[in-house]
Amino acid sequence: MPTNHAPNRHCGHLRMSGLTAGAVSAERLRRRMAKSGRTLAGQKLWANDEIEHLRRTYPDYRKARTVLPDRSLSAIRSKASRLRITRSRRIWSDNDVKRLKAPYRQRRPVDEILALFPGKTKKQIWTRACRSGWRRPRTPPKAYEVKHYDDVRARAFVSKLSMRELACLSATGSYFLQPPSRNNWRKISKAVEMLDGKLSVVWTDK
């Protein structure tokens, strides 16, 4: 039975013509954007030096924003995604865990610890330490030279309470969580009572 292949050849020709036209159109758009320095949406094209800055600073978005002041956070995230930049997700080796233990428990700054483990994030450091059951040494609360305020915070520390626990248990809001401008006697009194203490007034004769 005779068959006619002409329509198939014609369709194939049309498809190839369409692809060629599409490629030419895309190339024209690329040239236009390269000439103007902007996308069709009017956004500034990424320069090579900007991309290098992004590669060096990722995933520290705060640092990326500093070196790329003309780029929004969403633009930086989007570009990082298109460049297929991904964080290191390598598994912690036994040797890594051993190297992490001492500096973490000695309370060395986290930035120093990160320098020992390139590619790791702060969250990964904290998560690994938590899973290992490590605790960093507690440090006394900062003194602000507001005597009674400082005394209450110091007493809470000795009682093994965090400053947030102090605030919660004494129902004093955020007073003991931030630098004071003065002694708030009502809140200090509540905290002293919660800590099983007592305020007293001593008069001195001149």
Task: Tell me the average pLDDT of the chain.
Answer: 80
Residue 137 resides in a domain: no
Integer Cα distance of 48 and 55 in angstroms = 11
Question: Is the pLDDT confidence value at 38 over 60?
Answer: yes
pLDDT (tens digit per residue) in 191-200:
999 999 988 8
3 state SS of 38: strand
Residue 34 resides in a domain: no
Residue 184 pLDDT class (50, 70, 90 cuts): very high
Integer Cα distance of 176 and 163 in angstroms = 7
Question: Is the pLDDT confidence value at 179 over 70?
Answer: yes
pTM metric for this prediction: 0.42
Average pLDDT on 143-172 reads: 91
Q: What is the distance of C-alpha 34 from the center of its chain?
A: 34
Residue 119 resides in a domain: yes
Domain enclosing residue 62, as ranges: 46-86
Question: Is the pLDDT confidence value at 24 over 80?
Answer: no
Same-domain check for residues 151 and 119: no
Residue 126 pLDDT class (50, 70, 90 cuts): confident
17-38 core/surface letters (b: 16 or more CB in 10 A; e: else): eeeeeeeeeeeeeeeeeeeeee
What pLDDT shows up at residue 45?
Answer: 77
In terms of Cβ atoms closer than 10 Å to its own Cβ (0-12, 13-18, 19+), residue 152 is: buried
C-alpha distances (whole Å) from 174 to each of 167, 185, 187, 189, 195 are 6, 15, 10, 15, 17
Same-domain check for residues 151 and 188: yes
Integer Cα distance of 178 and 181 in angstroms = 9
Residue 74 resides in a domain: yes
Average pLDDT on 50-63 reads: 79
Residue 25 resides in a domain: no
Question: Is the pLDDT confidence value at 4 over 70?
Answer: no
Number of independent structural domains in the chain: 3
| Top-confidence residue, 118 or 146 | 146
pLDDT (tens digit per residue) in 89-125:
557 888 999 999 999 888 888 889 988 887 788 888 8
Question: Is the pLDDT confidence value at 44 over 80?
Answer: no
Integer Cα distance of 188 and 176 in angstroms = 9
Same-domain check for residues 151 and 180: yes
Q: Within 13 Å of residue 174, how many CA atoms lie on the same side as its CB?
A: 3
- Percent of the chain clearing pLDDT 90 (strictly above): 26
What pLDDT shows up at residue 111?
Answer: 86
Residue 180 resides in a domain: yes
Residue 76 resides in a domain: yes
- Percent of the chain clearing pLDDT 70 (strictly above): 76
Q: What is the distance of C-alpha 131 from the center of its chain?
A: 20
